[in-house]
């Protein structure tokens, strides 16, 4: 229990201290925001800061900080370290820079931002990566809640029934003005999310579930290596490239840059708290990581474990409330994933999005592809989502670092986590079953070498070493 509370305090202190340092490096000011300059009543819509915070939190807090944290718990309490320090020094920085740089560039999508700061080749890579990732996210966050809803409803309302319902909702959320549906229902979903988190945390405390204390040992029953598998598995609970696609969407609704730390950095810290709670539940509820592994097999994956923990900790009524919160998380990420994919394609091809016809032209095929992907095994989709997610985060951080260089500011707040994530991404794909399946004797040194090459290439291009020079804008 001591480890859990220390981790919780560190997340809060990190927001109050390191968050201010990141804000100081960016230097927010009082310039007009895209919501004021480009208002269109559809995507560029002024919203109150508290509402934007809730929307941002629900956008980013999908299944990742719940399902990912539970799977990360298989390695034991060491997962707390990644959630805490990954959130403070990588994830929150990544989300803040993605959103704030977008404000400075008229609400541009992350792929366009990458193109500005890393060149046209990386822009094309990022465009493809972003759209593919967003469709995968939408698919994952369609099948997950459908499975959970099927557990709470009569037999005739099976997984396929709920898939159709969720897909129909996603269609509306993708094409309607952002304040017509998303902006109205998200506060309700936000309440459900908060009730869920507090309920599970309180349930563990008041029922006396013994929480495991920090150990650096690998407690994974299959003895899978902590590096880099855990760092990819947890993903959204520490750092997620998916968030870089969501922050620009909220950048189009902000009325002041000075709200950036609360909205972007703060929402990521809140997600870190959610991941911490579910990681603690996963580590401790079944007595040991071996018990968690058995439960995952017995209950058919993370959805079954979430249901089991919720009901046993909070009873039937409380369990249902907690499950509603868990369902709200992925649904409110899946809808904005498809919406963000539409906006990314619109920026890519220069298509206006004020007319219904133009929005339908992009939304219908995107949702059609997402619907077909639900026929593929969930675990396969999740594996590819995890790696592409962290790779996108790596690229977004390098773009953020270059922006800070151009502003003659402290670029190391982005450069260090970008280097770290470069090592994570390359090492993982080299040794993962869905990758090249290479032994650690090869993947480890090659991953580290790749990260060092990225770092030196960045420093050279930025003019920090060598003769290259970056012009300060």
Report the CATH number at residue 161: 1.20.1740.10
- This prediction has a pTM of 0.91
Residue 315: inside a domain: yes
CB atoms within 10 A of CB 438: 15
Residue 471: inside a domain: no
Q: What is the Cβ-side half-sphere exposure of residue 169, based on CA atoms within 13 angstroms?
A: 23
* CA angle (145, 149, 155) in 5-degree steps: 140
Q: How many domains does the chain have?
A: 1
CA distance 27 to 23: 6
Residue 401: inside a domain: no
Looking at 101-151, which runs of residues are DSSP E strands?
Answer: none
pLDDT at 471 over 60: no
Per-residue pLDDT of 126-141, as tens digits, reads 998 888 888 887 887 7
Range of the domain at 167: 40-380
Residue 466: inside a domain: no
* In contact, 26 and 97? CB cutoff 8 Å: yes
How large a percentage of the chain has pLDDT more than 70?
Answer: 96
Residue 388: inside a domain: no
Residue 22: inside a domain: no
For residue 340, give the nearest of 242, 426, 262, 263 by alpha carbon.
242
Residue 433: inside a domain: no
Phi, psi of 255 (to 5 degrees): -100, -10
Tokens in use for 204?
């563990």
pLDDT at 322 over 90: no
* DSSP conformation class of 176: S
pLDDT at 153 over 60: yes
CA distance 135 to 233: 19
CA distance 309 to 151: 14
- Using CA atoms, how far residue 381 sits from 1, 22, 210, 279, 354, in Å, is 34, 34, 34, 22, 33
Residue 451: inside a domain: no
* DSSP conformation class of 237: G
Q: Which band of pLDDT confidence, cut at 50, 70 and 90, is reported for residue 310?
A: confident
Averaged confidence pLDDT in the chain? 89
Give the pLDDT mean for 211-232.
Answer: 89
């Amino acid at each position: 229990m001591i480890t859990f509370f220390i981790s919780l305090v560190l997340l809060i202190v990190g927001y109050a201290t390191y968050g201010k340092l990141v804000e100081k490096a960016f230097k927010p000011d009082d310039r007009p925001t895209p919501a004021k300059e480009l208002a269109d009543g559809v995507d560029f819509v002024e919203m109150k800061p508290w509402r934007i915070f809730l929307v941002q939190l629900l956008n980013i807090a999908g299944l990742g900080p719940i399902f990912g944290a539970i799977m990360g718990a298989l390695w034991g309490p060491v997962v707390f370290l990644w959630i805490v320090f990954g959130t403070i020094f990588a994830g929150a920085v990544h989300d803040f820079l993605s959103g704030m740089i977008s404000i400075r560039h008229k609400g541009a999508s992350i792929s366009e931002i990458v193109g500005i700061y890393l060149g046209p080749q990386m822009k094309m890579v990022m465009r493809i990566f972003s759209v593919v990732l967003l469709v995968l996210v939408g698919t994952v966050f369609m099948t997950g809640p459908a499975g959970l809803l099927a557990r709470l409803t009569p037999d005739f309302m099976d997984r396929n029934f709920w898939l159709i319902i969720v897909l129909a909702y996603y269609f509306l959320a993708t094409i309607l003005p952002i304040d017509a549906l998303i902006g109205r229902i998200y506060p309700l979903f936000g309440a459900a999310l908060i009730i869920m988190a507090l309920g599970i945390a309180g349930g563990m405390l008041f029922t006396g579930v013994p929480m495991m204390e920090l150990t650096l040992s690998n407690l994974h029953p299959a003895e899978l290596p902590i590096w880099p598998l855990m760092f990819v598995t947890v993903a959204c609970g520490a750092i997620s490239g998916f968030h870089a696609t969501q922050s620009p969407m909220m950048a189009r609704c902000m009325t002041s840059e000075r709200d950036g730390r609360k909205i972007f950095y703060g929402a990521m810290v809140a997600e870190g708290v959610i991941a911490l709670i579910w990681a603690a539940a996963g580590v401790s509820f079944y007595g040991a990581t071996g018990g968690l592994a058995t439960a995952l097999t017995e209950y058919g994956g993370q959805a079954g474990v979430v249901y089991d923990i919720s009901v046993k900790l909070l009873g039937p009524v409380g369990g249902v409330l907690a499950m509603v919160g868990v369902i709200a998380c992925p649904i409110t990420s899946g809808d904005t994933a498809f919406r963000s994919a539409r906006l990314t394609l619109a920026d890519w091809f220069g298509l206006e999005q004020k007319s219904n016809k133009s929005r339908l032209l992009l939304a219908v095929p995107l949702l059609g592809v997402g619907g077909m992907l639900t026929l593929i095994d969930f675990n396969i989709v999740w594996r590819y989502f995890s790696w592409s997610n962290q790779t996108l985060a790596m690229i977004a951080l390098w773009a953020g670092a270059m922006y800070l260089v151009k502003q003659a500011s402290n670029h190391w707040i982005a450069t260090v986590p970008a280097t770290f994530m470069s090592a994570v991404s390359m090492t993982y794909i080299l040794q993962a079953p869905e990758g090249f399946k290479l032994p650690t004797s090869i993947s480890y040194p090659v991953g580290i070498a790749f990260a060092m090459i990225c770092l030196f290439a960045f420093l050279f291009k930025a003019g920090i070493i060598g003769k290259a020079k970056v012009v300060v804008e």
